[in-house]
Amino acid sequence: MGNAWSDVDLIEKARGGDRDAFGELVRRHRSKAFDWARCVARDPHLAEDIVQEALLRAFLHVGTLADMDRFLPWLHKIVRNEALMKMRKGEHSGKERTFTRLSSTAGDKERVNWSDVDSILQYLSGGANRGEEGDPSAKLAYKEFLVTLRQMLRCLAPKERAVFEAHFFRQLSPAEIARLFRTSTDSVYQSLTRARYKVKEERIRVRLRDYVKERREANMPERAALSPVKGPKSAEWKRCKTSFAGAVYAALFYAMPGRYSLTDVMGLTGQAFRLTVEEQTIDATGPSMYFWESKFREGLLNLGLESEHTGDGGAPPTPFMLNKGVMHIRRSIKRGMPVIAWDLFAPEFGLIYGYDDAEQHLHAVDARAKGTIPYDRFGRGLSGGLFVLSITGEAQIEEWQAVRNALHMAVRHTYGEMTFIGYATGLSAYDCWKAAFRNGSVDPLGNAYTAEIAADARINAVSFLRGLENKLSAEGWEEAAAVAAEAAECYEAAADALGSLSRMFPMPSGGNPREPEAVIAAIGLLGNAKAAEEEGAAVLERLIRSIGTLQKSRMEATF
């Protein structure tokens, strides 16, 4: 399929499933995509990975392209989003072992992450004479890891290995390999994709075997497990719609039992006031798509707790990150604390409360299930990301300062905070939600899930604010108590509107979010909720000032 076809012709054919047409589009525009990726990544190897992932994503979604004349801007957006996501993941990835070499052409240094097969392959594919450089330590390290990599290639079928080695060791292009083995270029790409996946899997298995061996040699216990949460608290946290708050509440059973209610946890961590949505379709990813690390740490400090985390939940772990995650879990359980982890049996938060090196599995529980997870599947669930967080100790914070911090979090979120591209938070989220209804693009399940979580969160916001009202009144701070009551009324109005929306589109059926009358009603309810929260945020700012004044007067009275 040559140059006789226009881009519009090729896009039309690609939308109908014509792989050759899409391949021709890729041939024409791949260099542009690579330049876009390199502008963000500043690294040609990473840019190449970004382009591969972006083109795959484009192929899977080309059928959704409404305006065929907008193909290049559409592709540009996909590449840019993929690049930004890759860069963010890279900020939190660790390095297990690095190899530094002097460039033969300049004095700069190149660092290779030998814990990641992709990095090894990129390094090896960068030049056939790397093992012949002048540095003796470089030669030794190169040979050592080349032997290791070739051992890992034993997991491949003979034909897969031949194609793999031809591409990465002999530097042949897919087209050259296709001619060499008398097959199609598409078949070569498929073979390379399978081979890369198998080698990554084998690398994980090898690293886990090394990990278990290291633990045995260090005379570390092979297994340990804490008692799982039992009684009313267990049922309560499993009913909590906001899974992070529910998992924190369950973890408090081990750290400081009885100090906080679930409503306290929802309020002080800011979860009662959150709203994040996917902009276009309001899909089920929305409620969890924000930068967890800073928000979780800030929220836990309001509970008087220090914490640490491993991973970011954004990508399947490298062998190094998997090992680091398991080590994190072992340390925490040894201290008598479970870890809060993402995507155990469902894309939500739950607890890991035990491990077994001999069997190579973790003991875990979330709101959906309780069971074991093999080490090599951890962080590779439905959402494909590793994130573990543990409570490491207590932090000193005055009660009302914690409340003010939590309210500040709520206000910042309401007026908009930085989040992922393609997602919106706070008041802006309501605008996107309404626009999705108007456009008829709402995903039924995602819409129902988001509405259920938002409605439950606002119910907790009302309870939290009513609790503040009672505490302020009990301490004789009637003026501040009245402001808290006013804020509670605002969030009660939001809770009522979101509750009605949730009942209109119940889980798991989702109702019919494209039915004209339902659309009109939904947009009205979302408008009511937004107006109530906009007023509520303004009242929260007044409450913050009132509590600050009272804190100052109390402090002055003690001197």
> Distance between CA atoms of 501 and 428, rounded to whole angstroms?
18
Q: Is 362 helix (H, G, I), strand (E, B) or coil?
A: strand
248 and 270: one domain? no
Distances from the Cα of 438 to the Cα of 483, 520, 522, angstroms: 36, 8, 10
Residue 191: which CATH number? Answer: 1.10.10.10
Report if residue 1 sits inside a domain.
no
Q: Are residues 183 and 210 in the same domain?
A: yes
Contacts of 453 (CB under 8 A, 6+ apart): 241, 242, 287
pTM over 0.75: no
Question: Residue 523 half-sphere exposure, CB side, CA atoms within 13 Å?
Answer: 16
Do 347 and 430 share a domain, yes or no?
A: no
Nearest to 157 by CA among 127, 124, 111, 194: 194
Given this model, what pLDDT does residue 456 score? Answer: 96
Alpha carbon distance 378, 355 (integer Å): 12
Closest CA to 532 of 458, 470, 423: 458
Same domain? 63 vs 171: no
The number of CA neighbours under 13 Å toward the Cβ of 108 is 4
Give DSSP secondary structure letters for 51-65: HHHHHHHHHHHGGG-
So what's the pLDDT on residue 211? 62
248 within a domain of the structure (yes/no): yes
Beta bridge partners of 407: none
- pLDDT score recorded for residue 292: 93
List Cα–Cα distances, 54 to 76, 100, 313, 444, in angstroms: 9, 30, 20, 26
Is 135 a domain residue? yes
pLDDT in tens, 56-113: 777 767 766 666 667 787 888 888 887 877 766 553 343 333 333 323 333 333 444 4
The tens-digit pLDDT sequence of the chain (559 residues) is: 555 677 787 877 777 666 677 777 777 887 788 888 877 777 666 777 787 778 777 776 776 666 666 778 788 888 888 787 776 655 334 333 333 332 333 333 344 443 444 455 554 444 434 444 455 555 555 555 556 666 667 778 888 888 877 876 667 788 888 888 888 888 888 888 888 777 777 776 666 666 666 665 555 667 889 987 766 667 788 788 999 999 999 999 998 888 999 999 999 999 999 999 999 899 998 999 888 999 999 999 999 999 999 988 877 787 778 888 988 998 899 899 999 999 999 889 999 999 998 888 999 998 888 999 998 889 888 777 899 999 999 999 999 999 999 999 999 999 988 888 889 999 999 999 999 999 999 999 999 999 999 999 999 999 999 999 999 999 889 999 999 999 999 999 999 999 999 999 999 889 999 999 999 999 999 999 999 999 999 999 999 999 998 888 777 666 5
Q: Tell me which of 47, 75, 91 is where a domain ends.
A: 91
91: which 2 tokens?
């900020």
Specify burial of residue 145 (Cβ count, 10 A radius: 0-12, 13-18, 19+): middle
CATH number for the domain that contains residue 15: 1.10.1740.10
pLDDT in tens, 163-201: 877 876 667 788 888 888 888 888 888 888 888 777 777
Domain end point (choices 60, 91, 122) = 91
| Helix H or strand E encompassing 419 | none
Name the nearest CA neighbour of 373 among 341, 404, 410. Answer: 341
pLDDT given at position 90: 53
107, with CB counted inside 10 A (0-12, 13-18, 19+), is exposed
Predicted confidence at residue 38, as pLDDT, reads 79
DSSP string spanning 64-126? G---GGGHHHHHHHHHHHHHHHHHHHHHT---S-EEEEE-SSSS-EEEEETTSHHHHHHHHTT
Q: Which of 331, 365, 324 is nearest to 346 (CA)?
A: 365
Q: What pLDDT is stored for residue 461 in this prediction?
A: 98
Both 504 and 550 in one domain: the answer is: yes
Give the C-alpha distances (Å, rounded to integers) separating 119 from 123, 220, 364, 461.
6, 31, 32, 46
Same structural domain, 286 and 415: yes
Tokens 């960068």 map to which residue? 126
Q: What is the pLDDT of residues 31-54, one digit of tens each?
A: 788 888 877 777 666 777 787 778
* 451, 405: one domain: yes
Q: How many domains does the chain have?
A: 4
3-state secondary structure of 389: strand
SS3 392: strand
Going from the C-alpha of 129 to that of each of 104, 107, 174, 300, the distances in angstroms are 11, 18, 21, 52
Identity of the residue numbered 340: I
The answer to whether the beta carbons of residues 220 and 348 sit under 8 Å apart is: no
pLDDT at 125: 46
The reply to whether 80 and 180 lie within a common domain is no
Q: Are residues 298 and 312 located together in one domain of the fold?
A: no
Same-domain status, 272 and 334 = no
128-134: long-range pairs with CB below 8 Å, 24+: 128/169, 128/170, 128/171, 130/101, 133/101, 133/102, 133/104, 134/102
Which of 341, 363, 394 represents a domain boundary (last residue)?
Answer: 394
Residue 81 placed within a domain: yes
Q: Is the peptide bond before 508 cis (omega within 30 degrees of 0)?
A: yes
pLDDT of residue 218: 57
DSSP 130: G
Integer Cα distance of 74 and 503 in angstroms: 36
Domain boundaries, position 77: 7-91
Q: Is 484 helix (H, G, I), strand (E, B) or coil?
A: helix
CA distance 278 to 429: 8
The verdict on residue 2 lying in a domain is: no
Task: Mark whether 358 and 442 lie in a shared domain.
Answer: no
CA 31/CA 289 separation, integer angstroms: 31
In this prediction, residue 113 carries a pLDDT of 43
For residues 201 and 333, state if they share a domain.
no
Tokens of 86: 């890759």
